[in-house]
Amino acid sequence: MGWIIALIVGGVAGWLASMVMNRDASMGIFWNIVVGCIGSLIGNAVAGPLLGISGSVQEFSITGLIIAFVGAVILLGIVNLVQRKRIR
């Protein structure tokens, strides 16, 4: 059951991040889910050591959603930097 919640929360986080980073038109629901789940890993890797907080997308929490969103924004910023030579 946790993986279904992870897909939903990852999809929402990826969709919100794609809206913020102006990538929504080029991404479908599959890539939003992938970006959100990978963003959760990146967000936990960044927020854990720096802030001492962590959140999981396997059980829904606002903290987990925010961390996944921040990680997804970081991931899309890196992708934009590589593809477009600019962050946004």
Asked if pLDDT for residue 2 goes beyond 80, the answer is: no
For the whole model, what pTM was predicted? 0.84
Question: Which of 3-7, 16-20, 39-43, 80-84 has the highest average model confidence (pLDDT)?
Answer: 16-20
Residue-wise burial string across 14-28, b where 16 or more C-beta atoms lie within 10 A, e elsewhere: bbbbbeebebeeebe
The tens digit of pLDDT for each residue in 16-74 reads: 999 998 877 777 889 888 999 898 888 888 887 787 776 766 667 888 888 889 999 99
Which of 5, 8, 23 is closest to 82 using CA atoms?
23
Contacts of 68 (CB under 8 A, 6+ apart): 9, 10, 13, 36, 37, 39, 40, 43, 55, 57
Which tokens in the block code for residue 31? 């890539």
What pLDDT score was predicted for residue 62? Answer: 85
Spatial separation of the C-alpha atoms in residues 44 and 4, rounded to whole Å: 19
Q: How confident is the model at residue 88 (pLDDT cuts 50, 70, 90)?
A: low
What pLDDT score was predicted for residue 23? Answer: 79
